[in-house]
């Protein structure tokens, strides 16, 4: 009996999809039309109830595989995709985002020339209709510019991420299969699994994660009609916990800048959390805002107990 040898693809692209019938075709096309064609595309449909699945299954390309599952949240969907990937490199694309057509070729070339394990680029923010948000005063652009400015100031990738997630999205992750195995699964975080993942990647490969800050190779979709809701609180609470965790991970003296940067961000998040709660809840007859003082107090107490010598205490 003869056997057919299945060639290992160079790149595995994982698309976690959920109810994006309006955008999924653009995402799939941006992968299948890449200038580097040696790839497999794994679409994991996380229980879509719209036409997402039908649109994907209508493609006739042997590189595309479609898997359906009952809704399990994004991090589980990504982890299933990782378990199915066979490529030497792994890339992720959310079902509402879009690659530039030369993204994968350029990232493979960079990784091979620089012996990198993980790389991400700058992004182009777009609307539901694909229009680019170019106004520097647009809220997202202001946020992203602030994070990039701090990175350029400190010239340290880890400290830069303590200020904010300028990778922006899981769609921006490109890594070796080896790195993906070492870092492991995405954590069970509803909103910030990408942020947690890049910190773990930097800790596992401190000199092999690179930011191509001058290259915009991903269209990141910012949806219209988003409203302020409880997710804004949950996301910021997760943000506080992550920054605390990964600030502590590099606490030795050589990384005092990390401590300062992370502490500043915790204070900012305390203010933001207060503002969101104020917008969602009826005003209370209290004139004192405790968030800032509480953050200072808890951070000081923690450092005093754990790292008194670093803080100049005996």
DSSP string, 247-310: HHTT-SGGGHHHHHHHHHHHHHHHHHHHHHHHHHS---S-----HHHHHHHHHHHHHHHH-TTT
Answer for the pair 87, 39: CB distance below 8 angstroms, yes or no. yes
Three-state DSSP at 119 gives: strand
For residue 47 the two structure tokens come to 């229980």
pLDDT at 50: 96
pLDDT at 296: 57
- Residue with token string 């589980």: 76
- What is the CB-side half-sphere exposure of residue 295 using CA atoms within 13 A? 21
pLDDT at 291: 53
pLDDT at 256: 66
Show contacts of 258-266: CB within 8 Å, 24+ apart: 258/156, 258/158, 258/159, 258/162, 259/303, 259/310, 261/150, 261/154, 261/159, 261/162, 261/163, 262/162, 263/299, 264/163, 265/162, 265/163, 265/164, 266/240, 266/295, 266/299
> What is the greatest pairwise CA distance in the chain?
82
Q: Quick one: which of 40, 54, 131, 141 has its CA closest to 90?
A: 40
pLDDT at 277: 85
Ordered per-residue pLDDT tens for the chain, 314 residues: 334 445 899 999 999 999 999 999 999 999 999 999 999 999 999 999 999 999 999 999 999 999 999 999 999 999 999 999 999 999 999 999 999 999 999 999 999 999 999 999 999 999 999 999 999 999 999 999 999 999 999 999 999 999 999 999 999 999 999 999 999 999 999 889 999 999 999 999 999 999 999 999 999 999 875 545 666 788 888 888 898 888 878 777 666 677 778 777 877 888 888 888 888 877 655 544 555 565 556 655 655 555 554 444 33
Size of the chain, expressed as the number of residues it contains: 314
- The torsion angle over the Cα atoms of residues 273, 277, 279 and 281, rounded to 10 degrees, is 180
pTM over 0.85: no
For residue 88 the two structure tokens come to 């030497």
Exposure class string for 159-193: b at 16+ Cβ within 10 A, else e: bbbbbbbbbbbbbbbbbbbebbeebeebeebebbb
- Residue with token string 């890049």: 198
Three-state DSSP at 13 gives: strand
Domains defined along the chain, listed by start: 11-221 (3.90.550.10), 230-306 (no CATH)
For residue 6 the two structure tokens come to 């299945």
- The torsion angle over the Cα atoms of residues 17, 18, 19 and 25, rounded to 10 degrees, is -10
For residue 136 the two structure tokens come to 């520097």
The helices-and-strands tally (H runs, E runs) of the chain is: 11, 8
| Cβ-based neighbours of 73, under 8 Å, separated by 6 or more | 46, 188, 190
């Amino acid at each position: 009996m003869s056997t057919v040898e299945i060639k290992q693809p160079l790149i595995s692209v994982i698309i976690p999809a959920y109810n994006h019938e309006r955008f999924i075709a653009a995402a799939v096309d941006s992968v299948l039309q890449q200038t580097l064609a040696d790839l497999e595309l794994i679409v994991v449909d996380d229980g879509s109830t719209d036409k997402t699945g039908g649109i994907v299954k209508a493609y006739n390309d042997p590189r595309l595989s479609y898997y359906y599952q009952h809704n399990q949240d994004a991090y589980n969907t990504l982890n299933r995709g990782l378990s199915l990937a066979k490529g030497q490199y792994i890339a992720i694309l959310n079902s509402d985002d879009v690659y530039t057509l030369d993204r994968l070729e350029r990232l493979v070339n960079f990784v091979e020339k620089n012996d990198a394990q993980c790389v991400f680029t700058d992004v182009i923010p777009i609307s539901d209709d694909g229009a680019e948000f170019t106004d520097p005063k647009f809220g997202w652009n202001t946020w992203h510019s602030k994070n990039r400015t701090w990175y350029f100031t400190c010239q340290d990738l880890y400290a830069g991420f303590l200020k904010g997630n300028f990778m922006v999205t899981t769609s921006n992750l490109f890594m070796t299969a080896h790195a993906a195995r070492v870092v492991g699964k995405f954590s069970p975080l509803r909103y910030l699994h990408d942020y947690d993942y890049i910190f773990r990647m930097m800790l596992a490969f401190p000199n092999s994660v690179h930011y191509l800050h001058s290259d915009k190779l991903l269209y990141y979709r910012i949806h219209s009609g988003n409203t302020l809701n409880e997710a804004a609180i949950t996301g910021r609470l997760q943000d506080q916990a992550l920054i605390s965790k990964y600030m502590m991970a590099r606490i030795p003296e050589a990384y005092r800048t990390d401590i300062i940067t992370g502490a500043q961000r915790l204070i900012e998040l305390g203010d933001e959390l207060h503002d969101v709660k104020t917008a969602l809840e009826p005003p209370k007859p209290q004139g004192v805002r405790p968030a800032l003082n509480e953050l200072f107090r808890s951070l000081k107490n923690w450092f005093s107990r754990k790292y008194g010598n670093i803080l100049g205490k005996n």
